[in-house]
Amino acid sequence: MLKVININSALIFFVLSAVFSFCQSPESGNAEMSSDSLQLSQADSIDQATGLVVDEALPLVIGNCTGCHSAKLITQNRASREGWKSMIVWMQETQKLWDLGENEDQILDYLAEHYAAEQTGRRKNLQNIQWYDLETQ
C-alpha cells in the first residue's frame, strides 16, 4: 500500500529519525520522572526545564518522549491527534520506540490539545506603505 506523505511530515520524520538514533530504553531514561521534579513557571504554566505546557500528562510525555529526543521537537511541531499518532507509529516502526501501552491515549490527548495543528492563512495585506519610484538607467 502506497502512502502519500507531505513535505512537512517528511521533514518531521527526518528530524525525528536523526534524534532517535540516540534513543534509549525507558528503563535507562527518565521514564520514572514524577511531577515533583518539574520546574514550573506559575505565570505561564510552562515547564522551565522542557518548555512544554504543564498539565497532568506532562510527566508521561517527558518520560516517554524526551528520553530520546528534545522537547523542542514537540514544541516546534504541530499536528492533529491523528498526525501525532502517525509520528508515534513511525517512531515505533523505525526508531525502536517502545509500546506506550495505556499511556498512549493520554500522551496523544496532551499533544493534540497543546500542540495541535494551527490554521494559518495568508498574511494580512500590507498597510501604510510608502512606495517609491525605482530609478532605472
Q: Is 29 helix (H, G, I), strand (E, B) or coil?
A: coil
Per-residue pLDDT at 83 exceeds 70: yes
* Cross-strand partners of 53: 46
* Of the candidate ranges 32-36, 86-90, 116-120, the one whose mean pLDDT is the lowest: 32-36
Q: What is the per-residue pLDDT for 90?
A: 97
| Strand spans (E) along the chain | 40-41, 46-47
Longest distance between any two alpha carbons in the chain, whole Å: 71
Q: How is residue 104 annotated by DSSP?
A: H
pTM: 0.60
C-alpha cell at 85: 499518532
pLDDT class of 107 with cuts at 50, 70, 90? very high
* pLDDT, tens digit (0-9, with 9 covering 90-100), for 25-65: 444 344 444 455 555 544 459 999 999 999 999 999 999 99
Higher pLDDT, 44 or 74: 74
Mean pLDDT score, 83-99? 96
